[in-house]
Structure 1
Amino acid sequence: MKRPIVLHPDPRLKKVAAPIDDVSDELRALADDMLATMYDAPGIGLAAPQIGVSLRLIVLDCVKEEGAPPRPMAMFNPEVVSSSDETNVYEEGCLSIPEIYADVTRPEAVTVRWIDMNGAEQEDTFDGLWATCVQHEIDHLDGKLFIDYLSPLKRQLITRKMVKFKRNKATEKA
């Protein structure tokens, strides 16, 4: 089931999400809803706080090649356990900040540990777009947005644009 995406500025996006004690059927269904929401947006990653659920759960699928099979992933309690010294710059966007993009520098590769849909602990190393995406989504779990990496002035301008965007969206619905 597709869920509505929380838009910046919203205080729920700035909260640290709670850890997950046990992967239940309810949480697996939530992960499925998040994947449906992400694909519909369309996006390559989504964190539970972005749909108003303050839990440490992210989903991602960074397969972009035409005709390549999707590779959906759900990660409960993901954490970066190591990161490379080398960095990459990617132009990032966010489903909670539509139509806004900015260059963000992050480690080029990261090793992440998480619990999968079956409740098993996993660990893998991601690089390139996958590394950027997983770090971006984990940031959401810590109440951090990609615009927090920008200068205060740029962040303020983007926040003003988003306030106007949300106001216009609300007016359209009325």
Structure 2
Amino acid sequence: MILPIVAYGAQILRAEAKDITPDYPDLKELLESMWETMYYSQGVGIAAPQVNKPIRIFLVDTAQVFERMDDEEKEEYDDDPGIKRVFINAHVQSLDGDEWAYNEGCLSIPKIREDVLRPEEITLSYVDENFEPHTETFSGLTARVIQHEYDHIDGKLFIDYLKPLRRKLLKAKLDDISKGKVSVDYKMTFPK
């Protein structure tokens, strides 16, 4: 089932999400709906707070990005062929490497893209959809998407990394999004 994406300005996007247990109600259906919603919205990642669930879940599919790249583009990243993965109860163990800029966007903040600096690597502990534990290091584009989605479960947004002047220049666009004055090709819910 395609779920509505929560728009910028909603409180849930600023709250720290909670860990869940294996008996979380209808978890399998939620994960299926999140995948369906992410693909329908043409995203490469989605976090539970973006579908109005205050829990520590996010999904990432960077494999689809690499499938669309030519060989020359792939050489820029060390994480080809990417991943398709569910992250539950994720917690950062470390962030390493030099920061690098990449033009990011967000399903909850449509029609705004900005360069964001993030470290090259992230090491996470998490459980998968079967609640099997993992501690893993990710790099390149995959690390970038993971950091972006991880921020959602910590109540942060990519615009928080922008310089104050740039955020001030975006204020009118952000206000329009929070008021529902934006047109997208997917379902959205707006703050009341």
* The one of 167, 172, 176 aligned to 1:160: 172
RMSD: 2.1
Would you say the 8 A contact 1:92–1:102 is kept in 2? yes
- CA–CA distance in 2 between the matches of 1:102 and 1:153? 13
Tell me the TM-score normalized by structure 2: 0.80
Residue 70 (structure 1) shift: 8.5
Would you say the 8 A contact 1:23–1:117 is kept in 2? no
Q: Structure 1: 5+ residue runs without aligned partners?
A: none
Tell me the secondary structure at the aligned position of residue 85 of structure 1. Answer: strand
- CA–CA distance in 2 between the matches of 1:11 and 1:159? 17
1:12 matched residue in structure 2:
12
Q: Structure 2: 5+ residue runs without aligned partners?
A: 70-80, 184-192
1:54 matched residue in structure 2:
54
Q: Percent identity?
A: 40
- CA–CA distance in 1 between the matches of 2:82 and 2:96? 26
- CA–CA distance in 2 between the matches of 1:168 and 1:67? 32
AA paired with 2:181?
Answer: N
Residue 110 (structure 1) shift: 1.1
2:135 matched residue in structure 1:
123
Tell me the TM-score normalized by structure 1: 0.88
Residue 157 (structure 1) shift: 3.4
Which gives a bigger RCO, structure 1 or 2 (Cα 8 Å, sep 6+)?
Answer: 2
Mapped pair 1:84 → 2:96: yes
* The one of 116, 125, 130 aligned to 1:113: 125
User: Displaced runs of 4+ in structure 1, greater than 6 A?
Assistant: 67-70
- CA–CA distance in 2 between the matches of 1:67 and 1:107? 24
Would you say the 8 A contact 1:23–1:118 is kept in 2? no
Aligned length: 170
- CA–CA distance in 2 between the matches of 1:70 and 1:39? 16
- CA–CA distance in 2 between the matches of 1:54 and 1:24? 12
2:40 matched residue in structure 1:
40
